[in-house]
Structure 1
Amino acid sequence: MNKALFILHYSPPVHGASKVGDSILNSSIISQELDAKFIKIKSSDSIDVIGKFNGKKILYFIELFFKICWSLLWFRPQIIYYTASPYGFAFYRDLVVSVPIKIYRKLSKTSLFYHYHAKGIDSFVSQSSINKKLTNFLLKNTTILLISKLMKSEIRQVNTYKNVVFINNGVETTLNKEDFLNVVSQRVSSNKASVLYLSNMIKEKGYDTILETVRKVKESGLDNIEFNFAGGWATNEDEQFFNNYVKEYNLQEYATFHGLVQGEKKKSLFSNATIFVFPSRYKKEVFPISVLEALSYGLPILGFNAGAVSKIINAKIGVISNKELIFEDLKKMIVNYQSTDNYKVCREEYLSKYTIDVFERKLTDILTSS
């Protein structure tokens, strides 16, 4: 059995890359196929400091460096998997810790995989010739893992890698077949549409757009729609904006904020929802985990054209909208997408493409075949 060293993000904090890391860490498929050791990339204690520099990151970097050196010396992996960052302090951290990995690879036959969950490689290398040289140095003779073919343009200026492969994200379902049918039965028996926003509470992810939609629902006299928001605040300003907006327009009976949810609370929100909204305009959006989670509950999706969202959503399972049309599109979805048949179609889309088993099996095949 090959030894594999996984250097990756996992919760906390909760974000797209850490959710993928959680699934790798807990994967029965990977543990059966590989003798795996895991090192956590610590960079942020909460989502509000992601992308920002602070003193803790230096300490985390030093800790990471020595853990990697120790593992290379005593664990001696044949496979190294690394969750890479395309720019910023995290890029330079990856660059420095790659040095002992490159030295180790010269002394042993080792396959190295860099998995990118975010955009930014191309914009970073375009800033200067030095950035381009450093990125090419980092990725020399490696296999690059990208989560969507839409990201292929990210490495158009990189020419030192050995191979590039694409692997969609996957998520674990918390519902068996019987549970799902019970959830569907409860949905169709309700006379109220329940709209769920579950993502990080930053404006780029669109919670402000949904708040505007809530206001329009109230002003239109529609009393059969409720909105639930869940996620972690990015800043105090975001929290104040949300609370002030709800108070100013008296939306308390229409909009409920549940905070950062996990476990049974998260399951309850997905189960009780009838439509999932993902109005992201985040420039670095790629393959959102929350959309896949919604599909695992059979929820139709109302999303914006960000990242690979338009590749995930088709006319059978949802609508690609925009800020100007979201209110009208939501009303149409309430009429056309809240049905037993449609909930089942959404669930089948998940089962055929986005289960955690599909992701874990493909990742294991990639790691063991190179």
Structure 2
Amino acid sequence: MNSAGHFFTRLLVSAALGLASLTTWGVEETVVRIGLTGPLTGPQAAMGKDDENAMRMAIDRLNAQGTVVAGKKLHFELMSEDDAADPRTGMAVAQRLVDAEVKAVLGPYNSGVAIPIAKVLNDAGIVMATVASNPKVTQLGYPFVFRIGPNDLATGARMAAFAAKHLKARQLAVIDDRTAYGQGIADEFIKSAKANGIQIVAREFTTDRATDFAVILTRIKAANPDGIFYAGYHAQAGPLRRQMKVLGMDGYLLGGDAICNEEMAKVGGEAVDGKVYCPQWGAILDQSNEGRQFRAEYTKRFGVDPLTYAGPMYDALFLIVEAMKKANSIEPRQFRSALATISYQGLAGSYQFDEKRDLKDSPSKVYSFKNGRPVPVPEAE
């Protein structure tokens, strides 16, 4: 065959392949990169990995079912970054995500990271959907920043009312880890506790790296409170509870959503019992078919059960994709407005945002612990 024959043969083959491609896929494929920032190392690594696992499940499902926006089939890719629960590291992570031109960032988990990086992402016109609960996260007024969980105003008030009405507590002590999360939820708990007739007999301070609470607990024991509200994370709350028991302090230990997970029981052991109380936002996964299926798939894939925010993080990506569909665009400056006015029912609850881009409705349930797992308290529902 001469060179002309080879040329026409190749042309026919190329044309055939092109037609096959159009027949098979039908639309052009576009890569959409989604960022994730959270503590993948350090004491809170279990929470960061939980968020990452949920995101991988969401992305795999979206890619399997196919999503078309503006005539293009979307292929989602995850860019997962470790912020180590550290604000300075978080700033470097945020800049990497901006440079990578991600369309949205899920996270961070920690308020201390969320507050500074919110400006970086907002200035770059990138949507941020976070579970960080300090009120400042959304009070800064950044239009690209959304909260997909409750804030400390709701959580602190919930636990104070529970302590007063259900536990009949009259005197409590507060330990604050001085992170943005800890300070925020401690302030709100104290304000609501006083309004509910509870006397705060002590407010002690620690850090989110502490392991020894003997001195603090000895001072608190002398005040003889009905219990302690710990404003911080599970990595410290678990050892704190163990040390309470060693000192013969069998009162209540209350906390926020950051202690409301199975990791709390892993680090605290048998001391984490039915007198430890904490709130979780959203639906109990085991109460719906979709939730049970999610839990089963998660556990089978990763070998552990989902923790506090796996459900909301999973929902968040579908929420963002729904906004893309409504705006007919994958560009944040286009779909941000659709996200702000969206109404979406997910695994963990219903998502609608107020003018500050906080959830309009963020009801929480109070949990205690049994056999190493958080279980809802029926009387508090």
Give the TM-score normalised by structure 2.
0.36
In terms of fraction of residues, the more strand-rich structure is 2
Give the TM-score normalised by structure 1.
0.37
The structure having more radius of gyration, on CA atoms, is: 2
